[in-house]
Amino acid sequence: MTQPALAATPQDRTDAPPHREWQTLTLMAFGFALVNLDRFIMYPLLPVMASELGFDYQDLGLISGAVALTWGLSSMVFGRLSDRLGRRAILVMAVLAFSVLCGATGLAMGLISLLLIRAVMGIFEGAFVPVSIAAVVEASPARRVGRNTGIQQLMAPLIGSALAPVLAIQLLQGLPSWRWVFAVTALPGLVCAWLIYRHYNDAARIRPNSPPPAPVSIRTVLRFPNVALSSAGFCFWLAPVVVFSALMPSYLTDFLHLELQHMGLVMSMIGLGGAAGMLVLPTLSDRWGRKTMMVMCLAASMVPTWLFMRTEAEPLQLAVLMFAATFFFSGSLAMVHSITADNVPAPHISTATGFIVGIGEIVGGALAPAIAGGLAKAFGIPVILPFTLGCLALGLIFALLLRSPIQSLK
């Protein structure tokens, strides 16, 4: 395939001063934490919500899929817009909107209203993600892109998957109903939006004497190395996280009959394992190369997933296996953005990231849980585990097809 004239090199951006690097990383990590808290705090509450609103397993998959579908479409649109128009306005608008809509989730009276609220929320969460990732990449020296994007990404499992289940159960026990949980978790977003407005400035993201970046088509972005493969692979690298987060609470409570506290413990391991993987594995990929680490992660994640299928209602064993599985497949997710930074010029990173995240969310985030939910309704909730193994196997094939060497720019 003929390569675009514009190559990805470290000279595409000027290294930011250390204080700006850490300020940007802190703000974007905070926002990313809230995106995932607002998105995932609903899942531990779904068994309670389902009994009140009359949901079945397929409905649970559709609710998760609605957010992912609009998230994916929005990522592709706003990622490209921010490359042309700047980051800050989109970031502030997105955080404000998805926080308000998270609070509005508590007003849902049935499946249709909940689907509508969460779908619109997904638009603004999808707008935040690629733009915030591009902001971190632009503020990071090339030698620390893997580490910094990993730190930002680990907020997803640490807050969305580790904190959210525990927080959801605690708030549920202390508040009048599940509806108030969403109102409480919406409040930090207002603070985050003000901090980004006050402290983030993207005026210096392009080299001062460089002309403004010319618009770039999706076709051009797909010609950069590994972007097309990453887009396809991301569908299967993301699916296990979303399927586990959306449907695993029902597997643990309905099939294994764990108590809510034990279910919360096991589900929190998705966050702790994912956070550890997203911190350690992308950092190692800065040294050992992206492809090596991607293949290792996906292959290794299949072992604890298979063992999870064969484990009875033993909370401690389940928690250990959940930690191990999510350590590896969440670490692979975090490396996708490092691969993009290695292969796409800085002025077009948000466009490329938005496309990759968008395709992945539509297929892996929206279709995968909807399909898994439909299969669970037809054949029983345990089917989500072999379904996840199949996604990991397909994801491994795409990782093996990535061009080598894939390593951090020096």
**Predicted pLDDT of residue 100:** 92
Instruction: Quote the percentage of the chain above a pLDDT of 70.
Output: 89
pLDDT tens figures, 18-58: 678 888 889 999 999 898 888 878 877 877 887 788 777 77
Residue 408 above 70 pLDDT? no
**Predicted pLDDT of residue 5:** 38
Question: Which is it for the CA torsion 262, 267, 268, 273, positive or negative?
Answer: positive
What is the rounded CA–CA span in Å between residue 211 and residue 129?
A: 26
Write down the mean pLDDT value for the chain: 81
Residue 109 above 50 pLDDT? yes
pTM, 2 dp = 0.70
Q: Quick one: 18-200+221-401 is in which CATH superfamily?
A: MFS general substrate transporter like domains (1.20.1250.20)
Q: Quick one: three-class SS letters along the chain? A: CCCCCCCCCHHHCCCCCHHHHHHHHHHHHHHHHHHHHHHHCHHHHHHHHHHHHCCCHHHHHHHHHHHHHHHHHHHHHHHHHHHHHCCHHHHHHHHHHHHHHHHHHHHCCCHHHHHHHHHHHHHHHHHHHHHHHHHHHHHCCHHHHHHHHHHHHCHHHHHHHHHHHHHHHHHHHHCCCHHHHHHHHHHHHHHHHHHHHHHCCCCCCCCCCCCCCCCCCHHHHHCCCCHHHHHHHHHHHHHHHHHHHHHHHHHHHHHCCCCHHHHHHHHHHHHHHHHHHHHHHHHHHHHHCHHHHHHHHHHHHHHHHHHHHCCCCCHHHHHHHHHHHHHHHHHHHHHHHHHHHHHCCHHHHHHHHHHHHHHHHHHHHHHHHHHHHHHHHHHCHHHHHHHHHHHHHHHHHHHHHCCCCCCCCC
pLDDT tens figures, 217-245: 677 777 877 888 888 888 899 899 888 88
pLDDT tens figures, 180-223: 988 898 899 999 999 999 888 765 454 444 455 555 667 777 78
Taking the mean position of all CA atoms in its chain, how far away is CA 236?
13
Residue 11 above 60 pLDDT? no
What's the token pair of residue 406?
């894939």
